[in-house]
Amino acid sequence: MVFNFALTQGKYKGSSFCLLGRNPIFTNPRELAIVGGTGAFRFSRGYAILKTYYMDMQTGASTIVEYDVYIRHY
């Protein structure tokens, strides 16, 4: 999975960071790597811990996932 988070408010407005890794949705918790970003997060590294709290198994339309993100940036 590749996932880009764009920040739109506050101190880091206009910056983004990128998560990359395998995302086995039925495994709790799971970890994805932060492999870079833009703006304040250029050359950043870190990880995110993901936890799925709810998934609509019939339609797949609704899912609630918590992202705990830890970033080292320069």
The mean per-residue pLDDT over the stretch 24-29 comes to 89
Average pLDDT over residues 7-11: 96
Q: Which residues contact 32 (CB under 8 A, 6 or more apart)?
A: 1, 3, 19, 20, 21, 22, 23, 47, 48, 50
Is residue 31 scored above 90 in pLDDT? Answer: yes
Confidence of residue 61 (pLDDT cuts 50, 70, 90): confident
Per-residue pLDDT band for 25 (boundaries 50, 70, 90) equals confident
